[in-house]
Amino acid sequence: MGAAAFVWPLVSQMNPDASTIAAGAPIEVDLTPIATGQDIKVFWRGKPIYIMNRTKKQIEEARSVPLASLPDPQSDQARVKEGHDNWLVVIGICTHLGCVPLAHEGDYDGFFCPCHGSQYDSSGRIRRGPAPLNLPVPPYSFVSNTKIQIG
Amino acid sequence: MSGPSTYQPQNGFLKWLEQRLPIGGLIHSSFVAYPTPRNLNYWWTFGGILSMMLALQIVTGVILVMHYTPHVDLAFKSVEGIVRDVNYGWLLRNMHAAGASMFFIAVYIHMLRGLYYGSYKAPREVLWILGVIIYLLMMATGFMGYVLPWGQMSFWGATVITNLFSAIPLVGESIVTWLWGGYSVGNPTLNRFFSLHYLLPFVIAGVVVLHVWALHVTGQNNPAGVEPKTDKDTVPFTPYATIKDAFGMVCFLIFFAWFIFYMPNFLGDAENYVPANPGVTPPHIVPEWYYLPFYAILRSIPSKLGGVIAMFGAIVVLAFLPWLDSAKTRSSRYRPLAKQFFWIFVVVCLLLGYLGAKPPEGGYVLAGRILTFCYFAYFLIVLPILSRIEKPRPVPNSIADDVLAKSGKKVAASIAAALIAGSVLLSGGVQQARAADHAPTPPSQTWSFAGPFGKFDRGALQRGYKVYKEVCASCHSMNLVHFRNLADPGGPGFTTAQAAAVAAEYKVQDGPNDAGEMFERPGRLADKFPAPFPNENAARAANGGALPPDMSLLAKALSYERGFPQVIFDFFTQFQEQGPNMIDAILQGYEDNPPAGVTIPEGAYYNKYFPGHAIKMPKPISDDQVTYDDGSPQTVKQYAHDVATFLMWAAEPHMEARKRLGFQVMVFLVLFAGLLYFTKKKVWANAH
């Protein structure tokens, strides 16, 4: 008992410290400068977050794919906020081994990871390559029509 | 370390000490009187070589720590500070960096020797398992050490490897956050890796003591694989093994010194001369060469968790080797089938290493899977079956018989060949991985600073500096170079007064003054070259989104593929000039009209040699743009050559000192090795 209680602080100190957690608080991002077809990358908790203003074509491509054909089936609607279908917000970290995929690259009008060749579509879903999962959607909400809060 | 000592000290003080702490007896019985089989070949010197390397890594490492700063903003700069400003810092840093590779080369030879001669078999199982533990600790230490310079490959290597733990079900993500101490690889990660990188070598040293202890309990195995029976089978450790090990060590040091003084960047990745940037992933993430076979295994398994299990399994399986191979005959010398499979296994490992450096696509994936199967099949299928069906040849009655029967002197030559071939093959794999996407290879230029006696052409350095100042400096910073460096020996040859005059032409911000305000003053020798933009974002905004790279290390950060056979010749010809070739080629590679089928996006320019061909920098220089005072031709060709020379100096200001000292060290080591060789012959004359 005592030994375990002594070990716990030694293990726990390795977790993110108070300042790191504080720096990981939610951030607000203004969407007005991002034109259709463009994207920006912001950093939250040290991770790059892609915010993409998708074109009609990209949205259609993402929605016309049969879900059964996807390695990690998830509908495009479930990955964006209703009424803001053009905005895709994903964590730009490849689910394979953590590289940063490039936006507007690859065969699916979405993202391409240069490390091991994973291809993500315009909804950030994995389509081909070694990555097992879709690009995760961070917790976020629309504060107004042109502003989101991430976290 | 085994049995009561026969040590009888003569000296009065030693007698006194021996009664209180029998350390003299311990040393005497372990390293003087200790009987070693008299048929040991040179493969057995690698134990001594490894001890030497461990000591060397600890000594250089402790010194480097005196100058290193483990912080994300300062680590990269402090490493460059070591190389540029600390007395002999470049030497210590090269020794430590190349030393890691040498350590692994030696340990792989040591392990394969154990594998070939059956050194893991009873009664040496614990000895072998301690060795596997040392190897695992070495891998962890090497990985964390590679993170410390905080270059691009440090950062992304750390990201990829720590993410391996996210494959663990349920708790994976929490473990990764715990390892990082944050939400991504960052300052806490760097700090804890630094702490552990300092600690683990001492843990290794502790396990090495156990390893040697276990060795001295069971005694050494030997090429014949039969235990010593009489005194005729053994010779005392000193002078026989001592002199032989010393000769082996000095030969290894020659090989080591070749890297330290002539090829310091051959085994590293050029990308690590770019500071870590969490927002930009390098095109190919490749671990250091010594992990490549395991990296290939990791990527061969289609499932993420499966790949991680296979990778760790590939190492753990070694610990079970004593029970997987139950053949009674130890040495593969008397096992005709096991011998063949051993060499196939060596080839499989080398090929896996080669694949580990390749992008995982097309045929490489299939080849990786087949070889991964072969790797595990050797341990789990071949060895267990062989130990049941193989009919070994008769082993000699005793070691003395073996010595009388054998002719072999081939071992030394084969070690040299294996050392060179193995390391070159593996490093070749690394170099292959630094591919630039399908741009033509820059033509190799003639450089005055190439080769073992290369020196910078002072005229070219001064002209190159002029081109830098009048052209490049309007967009590119050179943060690691100071005005004082212009007057450094081995540099452009300015006098201190001239360098001070150059500095005084610049305005440098300083302060705050007594009133608390920042002010501008003329530059001094101690200042660095001022950057054209206050920060990265300003530089990007002014250059269409592209960041003009800092030029201090450009000549070492740029590289390109040399192709497989070529890279072997590069090792012997000391070819290290990819960077200057690339700079030269890019400056001359602009063409107004891209060839048919190549589309260049708006705001970019076509360049024949730039990876991907679309470069954001417009053609920076044209004929007669910079005036030369010494009558050199004012052509783009000459400008490119001069500025590439200048940037090579900026990246490696102590290159001349390095090569000069290298020659002296080489001469010394070769003479020393010769002396040791003849001494060894004399000592062993009556033992053969």
Using a 10 angstrom Cβ sphere, with 0-12 exposed, 13-18 middle and 19 or more buried, the burial of residue B376 is middle
What one-letter code names the amino acid at B514? Answer: D
**Is the separation of the CB atoms in B285 and B160 below 8 Å?**
yes
CATH number for position A87: 2.102.10.10
Beta bridge partners of B510: B519
Beta-carbon neighbour count of residue B457 at 10 Å?
A: 17
Q: Which of B164, B281, B359 sits opposite A99 (nearest CB)?
A: B281
Q: Can you tell me the distance from the alpha carbon of B402 to that of B394, in angstroms, rounded to the nearest whole number?
A: 12
Q: Can you tell me the distance from the alpha carbon of B564 to that of B415, in angstroms, rounded to the nearest whole number?
A: 22
Q: Which residues in B lie closer than 8 A to residue A96 (C-beta atoms)?
A: 304
Could you read off the pLDDT of B18-71 as tens digits, one per residue?
999 989 888 998 899 999 999 999 999 999 999 999 999 999 999 999 999 999
Give the tokens for residue B15: 């007698």
Q: Which residues in A lie closer than 8 A to residue B299 (C-beta atoms)?
A: 116, 130
Q: Is residue A12 part of a domain?
A: no
What are the start-end ranges of the H helices in B357-440?
Answer: 363-377, 383-389, 399-405, 410-433
Q: Is B191 on the interface with A (CB under 8 A)?
A: no
Beta bridge partners of B607: B590
Q: Is residue A51 part of a domain?
A: yes
- Chain B interface, mutation test: which of A14, A97, A128, most B Cβ atoms within 10 Å? A97
Q: Which residues of A have a catalytic role annotated?
A: 116
Chain A residue at shortest CA distance from B165: A97
In degrees rounded to 5, what are phi and psi of residue B310? -65, -40
Task: Kindly report the length of chain B.
Answer: 688
Range of the structural domain that residue A71 is part of: 19-150
**Is the separation of the CB atoms in B71 and B187 below 8 Å?**
yes
Identify the residue whose tokens are 């490849």: A94
Q: Can you tell me the distance from the alpha carbon of B533 to that of B550, in angstroms, rounded to the nearest whole number?
A: 11
Among the listed residues B219, B231, B250, B229, the one whose alpha carbon sits nearest the alpha carbon of residue B30: B219
Among the listed residues B189, B199, B235, B251, the one whose alpha carbon sits nearest the alpha carbon of residue B48: B251
| Residue B537 C-alpha, separation from nearest chain A C-alpha, in angstroms | 13
| Residue A132 C-alpha, separation from nearest chain B C-alpha, in angstroms | 7
Q: Is residue A132 part of a domain?
A: yes
Q: What is the DSSP letter of B275?
A: B
Among the listed residues B161, B145, B150, B162, the one whose alpha carbon sits nearest the alpha carbon of residue B98: B145
Q: Which of B164, B182, B283 sits opposite A46 (nearest CB)?
A: B182
Q: What's the confidence (pLDDT) of residue B417?
A: 72
Beta-carbon neighbour count of residue A93 at 10 Å?
A: 22
For B612, left (φ over 0), alpha (ψ -120 to 50), or beta? left
- Chain A interface, mutation test: which of B281, B295, B297, B355, most A Cβ atoms within 10 Å? B281
Q: Can you tell me the distance from the alpha carbon of B226 to that of B163, in angstroms, rounded to the nearest whole number?
A: 47
Q: Model confidence at A96, in pLDDT bands (50, 70, 90)?
A: confident
Query: A46, B184: Cβ pair inside 8 Å?
Result: yes
DSSP B596-615: TT----TT-EEBSSSTTSEE
Q: Which residues in A lie closer than 8 A to residue B180 (C-beta atoms)?
A: 16
Chain B residue at shortest CA distance from A97: B160
Which of A 111-140 lie inside 8 A of B, CB atoms?
113-117, 130, 132
| Residue B184 C-alpha, separation from nearest chain A C-alpha, in angstroms | 6
Q: Is residue A10 part of a domain?
A: no
Chain B residue at shortest CA distance from A18: B182
Q: What's the confidence (pLDDT) of residue B602?
A: 74
What one-letter code names the amino acid at A46? Answer: G
Q: Which of A20, A24, A97 sits opposite B160 (nearest CB)?
A: A97
| Distances from the Cα of B640 to the Cα of B467, B577, B586, B587, angstroms | 9, 14, 9, 6
Residue ranges of chain B whose pLDDT lies below 50? 1-3, 432-437
**pLDDT(A95) > 90:** no
Q: Is A8 on the interface with B (CB under 8 A)?
A: no
What are the start-end ranges of the H helices in A13-85?
Answer: 18-23, 56-64, 76-79
Give the tokens for residue B534: 């206050």
Q: What's the confidence (pLDDT) of residue B597?
A: 78
In the A/B pair of chains, how many CB contacts fall below 8 A? Answer: 79
Q: Is residue A11 part of a domain?
A: no
Among the listed residues B617, B627, B504, B624, the one whose alpha carbon sits nearest the alpha carbon of residue B554: B617
| Residue B348 C-alpha, separation from nearest chain A C-alpha, in angstroms | 23
Q: Model confidence at A47, in pLDDT bands (50, 70, 90)?
A: confident
Domain count, chain A: 1
Among the listed residues B19, B44, B39, B11, the one whose alpha carbon sits nearest the alpha carbon of residue B398: B39
Q: Which residues in A lie closer than 8 A to residue B181 (C-beta atoms)?
A: 14-17, 20
Supply the ipTM of this predicted assembly. 0.72
Using a 10 angstrom Cβ sphere, with 0-12 exposed, 13-18 middle and 19 or more buried, the burial of residue B516 is exposed
Q: What's the confidence (pLDDT) of residue B410?
A: 60
**Is the separation of the CB atoms in B34 and B237 below 8 Å?**
yes
Q: What is the DSSP letter of B528?
A: B
Q: Is A46 on the interface with B (CB under 8 A)?
A: yes
Say if strands B507-510 and B519-522 run parallel, antiparallel, or are unpaired.
antiparallel
Percent composition of chain B: helix, strand, coil (DSSP 3-state, to 5): 60, 5, 35
> Looking at beta carbons, which pairs linking A29-34 to residues 24 or more positions away fall under 8 Å?
A29/A147, A29/A148, A29/A149, A29/A150, A30/A146, A30/A147, A31/A87, A31/A146, A31/A147, A31/A148, A32/A146
Q: Is residue A5 part of a domain?
A: no
In degrees rounded to 5, what are phi and psi of residue B275? -60, 150
Q: Can you tell me the distance from the alpha carbon of B648 to that of A130, in angstroms, rounded to the nearest whole number?
A: 39
Query: B184, A47: Cβ pair inside 8 Å?
Result: yes
Q: Is residue A4 part of a domain?
A: no
**Is the separation of the CB atoms in A124 and A89 below 8 Å?**
no
Say what the pTM is: 0.89
Q: Can you tell me the distance from the alpha carbon of B476 to that of B539, in angstroms, rounded to the nearest whole number?
A: 9
DSSP B61-101: HHHHHTT---STTTHHHHHHHHHHTSTTHHHHHHHHHHHHH
Q: What's the confidence (pLDDT) of residue B425?
A: 61
Q: What's the confidence (pLDDT) of residue A76?
A: 87
Q: Is residue A143 part of a domain?
A: yes
| Residue B570 C-alpha, separation from nearest chain A C-alpha, in angstroms | 27
Q: What's the confidence (pLDDT) of residue B610?
A: 85
Say if strands A27-30 and B35-37 run parallel, antiparallel, or are unpaired.
unpaired
Q: Which residues in A lie closer than 8 A to residue B184 (C-beta atoms)?
A: 45-47
Q: What's the confidence (pLDDT) of residue A19?
A: 86
Beta-carbon neighbour count of residue B396 at 10 Å?
A: 19
Query: A43, B178: Cβ pair inside 8 Å?
Result: no
| Residue B278 C-alpha, separation from nearest chain A C-alpha, in angstroms | 8
CA atoms within 13 A on the CB side of B606: 11
**Is the separation of the CB atoms in A50 and A41 below 8 Å?**
yes
Identify the residue whose tokens are 């499989």: B348
Chain A residue at shortest CA distance from B175: A15
What's the CA angle centered on A120, arms A118 and A125, to 5 degrees? 120
